[in-house]
């Protein structure tokens, strides 16, 4: 089956969970989390729930693990904690939950980011993969990075990703 046929059979409506990982973000200033919700909803997807947690590995892992157990959730998208500062620990907290890594996601995101911000793009550890038949995507905390990833990578393939991960 071609990628076009796969896409044609993919769900147009995906149930998502959005997690902001940050020591400083609140509902008021979480522009990255708001952008994810706005873009998903505008594309016809559903945000079942969202949460903001501190960048504490045990807490991040616990929240993601709980969402992986939720039958309704098909995709988990996180924002924040993917850099290289001492407090950026989402990558370490979550990557070992992945059953299959989608290395191309991070590579493509950094390539697109490089076109806009230059070599600083290499500081991102954005990633995606599958876990328990669901899609898990981790994005940087910047609203601009979130919008870039969602519009160029996530939204065009989200249904297809979910279809393949759930087979």
- pLDDT tens digits along 67-102: 999 999 999 999 999 999 999 998 999 999 999 999
Look at residue 116 in the predicted model and tell me its pLDDT.
Answer: 96
No. of helices (H) and no. of strands (E), the chain:
7, 6
- The answer to whether residue 93 sits within a structural domain is yes
- 80: nearest Cα among 161, 149, 157: 149
pLDDT at 10: 85
Average pLDDT over residues 33-41: 98
Whole domain around residue 125: which residue ranges?
13-165
Q: Please check whether residue 82 lies inside any domain of the structure.
A: yes
Residue 6 lies in a domain: no
Local confidence band at 141 (pLDDT 50, 70, 90 cut-offs): very high
Q: What total of structural domains would you count in the chain?
A: 1
Distance CA 153, CA 167 (A): 21
In a domain, 134, yes or no: yes
CATH number at residue 104: 3.40.980.10
CA–CA separation, 167 and 162 (whole Å): 9
* 53 lies in some domain: yes
Asked if residue 8 is part of any domain, the answer here is no
Q: Answer whether residue 2 is part of any domain.
A: no
Q: How large a percentage of the chain has pLDDT more than 70?
A: 100
The upper half-sphere exposure of residue 33, i.e. CA atoms within 13 Å in the direction of its Cβ, equals: 23
| Residue 20: strand pairing partners | 52, 79
- 9 pLDDT band, cuts 50/70/90, is confident
pLDDT for the residue numbered 2: 76
Q: So what's the pLDDT on residue 61?
A: 97
Is the CB of residue 108 less than 8 Å from the CB of residue 153?
A: yes
| Helix, strand, or coil (residue 160) | helix
- Pick from 160, 18, 129, 15: nearest CA to 74: 15
**Banded model confidence at residue 5, pLDDT cuts 50, 70, 90:** confident
Residue 7 lies in a domain: no
């Amino acid at each position: 089956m071609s990628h076009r046929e796969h896409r044609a059979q993919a769900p147009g409506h995906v149930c998502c969970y959005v997690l902001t990982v940050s020591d400083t973000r609140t509902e008021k200033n979480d522009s990255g989390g708001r952008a994810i919700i706005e873009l998903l909803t505008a594309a016809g997807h559903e945000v079942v729930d969202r949460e903001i947690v501190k960048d504490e590995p045990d807490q991040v892992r616990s929240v993601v693990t709980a969402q992986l157990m939720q039958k309704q959730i098909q995709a988990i998208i996180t924002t924040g904690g993917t850099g290289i500062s001492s407090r950026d620990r989402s990558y370490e907290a979550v990557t070992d939950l992945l059953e299959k890594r989608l290395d191309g996601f991070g590579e493509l995101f950094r390539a697109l980011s490089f076109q806009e911000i230059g070599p600083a793009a290499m500081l991102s550890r954005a990633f995606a993969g599958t876990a328990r038949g669901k899609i898990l995507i981790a994005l940087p905390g910047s609203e601009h990075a979130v919008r870039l990833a969602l519009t160029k990578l996530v939204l065009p393939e989200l249904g297809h990703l979910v279809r393949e991960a759930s087979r």
